[in-house]
A and B are shown apart, each in its own frame.
Chain A
Amino acid sequence: MKLPPFRYERPASLDEALSLLAGSAADAKVIAGGQTLLPIMAFRLAAPSLLVDIGSIAELRGIRIMPDRLEIGAATRWCDILGDARLAAEHPLLQAGIGHVAHYQIRNRGTVGGSLAHADPAAELPGIAAACDASIVIAGPEGKRTVPFDEFFLGALTTILSEQEIIAELHLPRWTPQRRWAFLEFARRSGDFALAAVALHYLKDDSGRLADVHVGVMGVCDRPCRIAAAEAILNGNEPSAELVAAAAAAAAAAVDVDDDLHASQAYRRALIAVLVERAFEAAEMRGG
């Protein structure tokens, strides 16, 4: 369908964008790549009176490598992440996961902030954020606040963002090169949202025991999350087929979605168990 009518503004600075939002009706929306918002508007599920385009705001773009973290501007596109040669060493899990986002053309427009703001439980970036201790920097009328991802993402399509706020940055703790990792996703067609996906990373101590295990899942709950029960099984132990199978079973038990159009709950449970086992296998083969 054709888009409903709206006003359009393209501010040059974050401050200008914030004052546009502050001075407008509550149904104003922020747009950058528009790869989620425009389909929503085409379906007439949303009809905002004003679109504030943050695509010209230089301070919202780019990937900065700081001593203790990566800072990724909200208007950074998927293709910017995939094309950044530094990230192969600086955050290989991020780059691998983003490679699963939608299609080539979408990855040339879609942005980090758009994915976070729309909060799809099956989307890759929120899943990576949940699995990697991310935090979100939010700019609002009163200045900026930094929020841990778990507090940011409230549930399917719901975040703590107010109508007057704009996501400014995603922060990820610096990667350690000896970390082992894998990102595995199952979707029915290339580019579709995942029926289930796993982002896994951990360290191994000198005696081969697992440490600091992170098991993140997406597509299987109302929000992407870590599976504490699976992590507890793995942490402090030497990996074995039985141990990994127990962790996979714990992940399957944590699946909290009912049957839907795409898959039954039983299917998703089986899928997440298989993905956890395969992810662990891939991480071990890749080494640290």
Chain B
Amino acid sequence: MNETRPTCVNGVAVAIDVEPRTTLADFLRHRLGLTGTHVGCEHGVCGACTVLVDGAAVRSCLMLAVQAQSCDVVTVEGLSSDEALSPLQASFRRNHALQCGFCTPGILTTAHALMRDEPDASEERVREVLSGNICRCTGYVPIVNAVVEALRDARAARGKEAP
């Protein structure tokens, strides 16, 4: 690891100037004011705090902020610009894949990683990956539908681009 590499959160260099016991989730919320990352259980069960660290979906309540030194962190705020929703977010809106919205940031970050790494993921795989995120409102069906639809749209768009 190169210690001189800056820590980046949503593309912006930040300094990790907190106590070692500060979780990445609390650092993002309290130090950086990025309150899109939600903290549910604080012991790695609910998935609401999922963020991307060097591209991998991880629970930010089970990672120390100091462990993110020199990493590239993306939160739900970093998934899209202020002007437009990402295709996945738009699919969530179309499919009514959120009600209270508490679990949504963790599910969006998780599904973004899945779509990037496994563009051909099946519905079964989507369900398996999302099993680490608890939602108490939707019954999951609209969430799975939204991710499956976003994957299908991305494949169709890729097909059009192909020569």
Q: Do the two chains belong together in a single complex?
A: yes
Residues 38-71 of chain B, each 1 if its beta carbon lies under 8 Å from chain A, else 0: 0000111001001000001111011110110100
Task: Write out the residue numbers on chain A whose beta carbons fall within 8 Å of the beta carbon of B43.
Answer: 38-39, 42-43
Tell me if B20 and A105 are in contact (CB < 8 A): no
- Which of chain A's residues 25-68 have a Cβ closer than 8 Å to chain B? 34-35, 38-39, 42-43, 51, 53, 55-56
A6-B56 CB under 8 A given contacts A34-B63, A104-B110, A190-B128: no
Tell me if B67 and A105 are in contact (CB < 8 A): no
Tell me if B19 and A190 are in contact (CB < 8 A): no
Give A200 to B43 CA distance when docked, in angstroms.
33
Tell me if B42 and A106 are in contact (CB < 8 A): no
Give A103 to B66 CA distance when docked, in angstroms.
23
Give A4 to B20 CA distance when docked, in angstroms.
10
Give A190 to B126 CA distance when docked, in angstroms.
13
Cβ-defined partner of B131 (8 Å) among A53, A79, A108, A191? A191
Chain B contact residues (Cβ within 8 angstroms of A): what range? 20 to 34
Tell me if B50 and A105 are in contact (CB < 8 A): yes
> Does B162 lie at the interface of the complex (its beta carbon under 8 Å from any beta carbon of A)?
no
Task: Write out the residue numbers on chain A whose beta carbons fall within 8 Å of the beta carbon of B58.
Answer: 105, 108-109
Chain A positions near chain B (C-beta within 8 angstroms): 1-8, 10, 34-35, 38-39, 42-43, 51, 53, 55-56, 79, 102-106, 108-109, 189-191
Tell me if B44 and A2 are in contact (CB < 8 A): no
Tell me if B21 and A103 are in contact (CB < 8 A): no
> Does B32 lie at the interface of the complex (its beta carbon under 8 Å from any beta carbon of A)?
no
Tell me if A105 and B66 are in contact (CB < 8 A): no
Tell me if B42 and A1 are in contact (CB < 8 A): yes
Tell me if A35 and B62 are in contact (CB < 8 A): yes
Give A6 to B23 CA distance when docked, in angstroms.
13
Tell me if B23 and A3 are in contact (CB < 8 A): yes
Give A8 to B43 CA distance when docked, in angstroms.
20
Task: Write out the residue numbers on chain A whose beta carbons fall within 8 Å of the beta carbon of B128.
Answer: 104, 190
Give A104 to B62 CA distance when docked, in angstroms.
13
> Does B85 lie at the interface of the complex (its beta carbon under 8 Å from any beta carbon of A)?
no
Q: How far is the CB of B53 from chain A (nearest CB, A)?
A: 8
Tell me if B21 and A3 are in contact (CB < 8 A): yes
Cβ-defined partner of A5 (8 Å) among B21, B67, B132? B21
Tell me if A104 and B129 are in contact (CB < 8 A): yes
Task: Write out the residue numbers on chain B whose beta carbons fall within 8 Å of the beta carbon of A102.
Answer: 132
Tell me if B64 and A103 are in contact (CB < 8 A): no
